[in-house]
Amino acid sequence: MTDQCRNHFRERMTILGELDAVSFLPWVRRHAAKLGLAQAIAHTSSERLEVDIAGPVELIDMMEIACLLGPIDVWVETIHRTPIDRGTG
C-alpha cells in the first residue's frame, strides 16, 4: 500500500489551443475516468483548460498523450504540467 501511495501524483494540466468545442470538456472527463484518474476542472475557456489530475504518473502521461491526439474538433497546441504540492508531510 505504501508503494501505491508513492506512485500517485497530483498535477495541474494546462491545455492550450483552440478548445472551443463543447465536446472537449466531457471528453477529458470521460478519458480521465477510463484511466482511473481523479480529476477536477479548475478553469475552462475557448483557449485554455486547467484540470487537476491525480493518479499514477504513467496514467497521467497517457492522459497527456490522449489530449494531444484529442477529439477531431479541437486543436491542442501545447500542454503544461505542474506538480501540485498540498504540503502534506
Contact between 39 and 84 under an 8 Å Cβ cutoff? The reply is no
For residues 26 and 86, which has the higher predicted lDDT (pLDDT)? 26
Angle made by CA atoms 83, 84, 86, in degrees to the nearest 5: 145
Contact between 53 and 60 under an 8 Å Cβ cutoff? The reply is yes
| CA–centroid distance for 77 within its chain | 15
- Return the CATH number of the domain spanning residue range 2-83: 3.30.70.100
pTM for the model: 0.84
At 14-73, the pLDDT tens digits run: 999 999 778 899 999 999 999 999 999 999 999 999 999 999 999 999 999 999 998 888
Query: Domain boundaries in the chain?
Result: 2-83
Tell me the C-alpha distance between 35 and 56, whole Å.
Answer: 10
